[in-house]
Structure 1
Amino acid sequence: MSTGTPVAPTEKPPFSRRVFKLEHASNVGPLLHIALWMGMTAAALFVPGTSTWYLAVPLIIVLSLLNLSLTIGVMHMHTHRPLFVSKFPNRVVDILCCLPGNLTAAEMREVHVLNHHRFNDGPGDVTATTGMDKGIGAIWYWVRYGMVVKIHTVRTVFAANPAPRRRKTRHQFIFDLAVYAAVIGSVWYVAGFEKFVLFYWVPFLITQVNAGYFAWLSHAPARGFTDEASTSLNNAGNILNFLIFNQGYHSVHHRYPGIHWSQIPDKLDYMRDVNPGVIVPYWMVAQSGWRLVVPGGFLNEGYGTKWKARLESRLEAGTVRSRYLPWFAWI
């Protein structure tokens, strides 16, 4: 099974690339998340009886998690490295990932790829956590993150005398927002007010906070570390990284931002340089935000030390990848 190694020019492209235009066969995983969100949203909106509380509550929870997966996870990896090798399906993915949280591909590119990866939570990073790593400032960061992203994107793509690339991004930004408004407005009209508020707007608002929390959590708790490898928090749980396609290894992502997600296991030797305190087991959703009231509550040196010992054993044995799901790390 392929694990992300680029195809040599003399080799015949794999079936997934020749027929389905996938950049890598493993990209069926992110596409499955998109399909799940679409299917569950449709079921919640149009299947009778879903407004009953014992159905509505689990549906809202699952939809909120899928929203975050598409808005931050799939859109993130897709912007760094498109899922397809063809323009049209990539633009379709752009728009589908925009629907759950109104985050466009233009915003992810301008704010995350071009700005955040350049300045890495330091001066110049519009999403820097400076002065907002504790208390009310942290909560304010979580809440306002989406607006910061939107404002920065508008300022950059609508700046005077833009470069041709920025002009193209501007057109895509406008088009994607127009499609978003048309789709959301149409579905709202068909589904009805109550169900749409319950199963779209409630998960939407939860996603806005979760996205801000995720962006904050990726760097704020690690601000006390000065070595480059340890300036990101790493959510290293195996199940979590299965669900988010190895993207919990944030230090590796910043060191190798352009690699395919299935290649991240091959780069986990970089985690040897990461301070164990910034290697944690919990999920990057707002439910773990209670740690804000505990000094140092987001760090977990004990877990990180044990995890690094397991990593060392796996590296020596050559078994960093899951035996049954070799696209994923399993430590």
Structure 2
Amino acid sequence: MPAAQKRTRSRMLRNRRDWQSLAYILALPLLVAYLWRHPYLSLLNGLLYGVLLFLTLGTGVIHHNHAHLRMWNKRWLNRLTDFWLTLLQGHPAFVFYPAHNGNHHRYRHGPLDVARTYRFGGDTNHLLGYLLHPLQATVVLYPLIWRWLIRMQRRHAGVLNYFLRQYLAVGLLWMLLGWLDWHKFLLLVLLPQLHGLHWLLATNYLQHAHADGGSPVDFARNFEGLVNQLLFNIGFHTAHHHHPRAHWTQLPGLHQRYRHLLHPQLNPGPLLPYMFRTFILSLLWPRRSSRSLMSPGKKNAN
């Protein structure tokens, strides 16, 4: 066995850069604990609360990455991470398998993708569609998740029990924190978890609204800039779809393979300026509005 392969197998983490992931998911509960103990109205606490909300975004991306490529070389550490992410996010870690890996990555925003953005009220890309998409996606994804759990019950009862224990863990944590102080629980735990869940689902709208769900390359939008340094290269979405098992550190290089193949509209630059142009500026200047890449025939077929 080559020495490099031996060193890779001897490490617990698959990739050393995942220390950044660990820093995020360890910092989040520590920050909650600090604000729980020091519930003062101050500029510092306001800034820390903003950091807390940002970390909920990072945790969602880490969950996404962990579902595609397990973070550890040890099974027990991966299972421990599953439960840790479950508690941090307020929803079971397993939901990524049926809702994301088995649905979204399989159908790539095409007509069989149950949460495709053009399913809800037409092919849109505006502020109202962005705000509503997480709610709309939840309505169609949870029946998919429950059907998947029923199949698990018939085929792999032990796996089903493992998944149900994740629901139990969330319920017990919520009851405990709510019993200790329900005001702090709502402000420091539940509201940030809902914020993270909103962004987790709304990202689908950012990355796919007005993209062509029938194209082999133009089905996703890519973002460049600071979002990738802070959020594990989440902006390089086309490359991720084509290489779902690639570690997030590989995505910048893979992105260069596809960038020149995409419609220019799908390489809009940094995320926040794109959101400002598309969701705010377009309200004042309609010519700034997004244009769909899907043909009328494809829209009518879906």
Q: TM-score range by the shorter chain?
A: 0.7 to 0.9
Q: Distance in 1 between matches of 2:159 and 2:152?
A: 14
1:88-127 equivalent positions in 2, closer than 5 A: 88-127=76-115
Q: Distance in 1 between matches of 2:104 and 2:146?
A: 16
Q: Distance in 2 between matches of 1:162 and 1:240?
A: 42
Shift, 1:12, TM fit: 4.7
Per the alignment, residue 262 of structure 1 pairs with: 249
Per the alignment, residue 24 of structure 1 pairs with: 15
Q: Distance in 2 between matches of 1:103 and 1:296?
A: 37
Bigger RCO (CA 8 Å, 6+ sep): 2
The one of 54, 66, 70 aligned to 1:82: 70
Q: Distance in 2 between matches of 1:287 and 1:208?
A: 18
Per the alignment, residue 178 of structure 1 pairs with: 168
The one of 139, 143, 149 aligned to 1:151: 143
1:36-51 equivalent positions in 2, closer than 5 A: 36-46=27-37, 48=38, 50-51=39-40
Q: 1:274-316: CA deviations, max 9, x gaps?
A: 22211123437997573474566458xxxxxxxxxxxxxxxxx
Please list every run of at least 4 consecutive aligned residues from structure 1 whose deviation after the TM superposition is greater than 6 angstroms. 284-287
TM-score (norm 1): 0.75
| Pair 33,161 (structure 1): closer, same or farther in 2 beyond 3 Å | closer
SS of 1:240 mapped into structure 2: helix
1:193-204 equivalent positions in 2, closer than 5 A: 193-204=182-193
How many residues are paired up?
Answer: 282
SS of 2:95 mapped into structure 1: helix
Per the alignment, residue 205 of structure 1 pairs with: 194
Q: Distance in 2 between matches of 1:221 and 1:154?
A: 29
Compare 151-160 and 22-31 and name the one that shifted more: 151-160
* 8 A contact 1:213–1:285 mirrored in 2: no
SS of 2:235 mapped into structure 1: coil
Identical residues among aligned pairs (%): 21
Per the alignment, residue 206 of structure 2 pairs with: 217
Q: 1:129-182: CA deviations, max 9, x gaps?
A: 124342555532223434543332112112386333xx4442222011111222
Q: Distance in 2 between matches of 1:286 and 1:84?
A: 35
Q: Gaps spanning 5+ residues in structure 1: where?
A: 1-8, 300-331
Shift, 1:100, TM fit: 3.3
SS of 1:171 mapped into structure 2: helix
Shift, 1:14, TM fit: 6.6
Q: Distance in 2 between matches of 1:203 and 1:222?
A: 30
Per the alignment, residue 306 of structure 1 pairs with: none
Alignment partner of 1:188 is 2:178: yes
| Pair 161,150 (structure 1): closer, same or farther in 2 beyond 3 Å | closer
Q: Distance in 1 between matches of 2:33 and 2:82?
A: 19
* 8 A contact 1:106–1:172 mirrored in 2: no
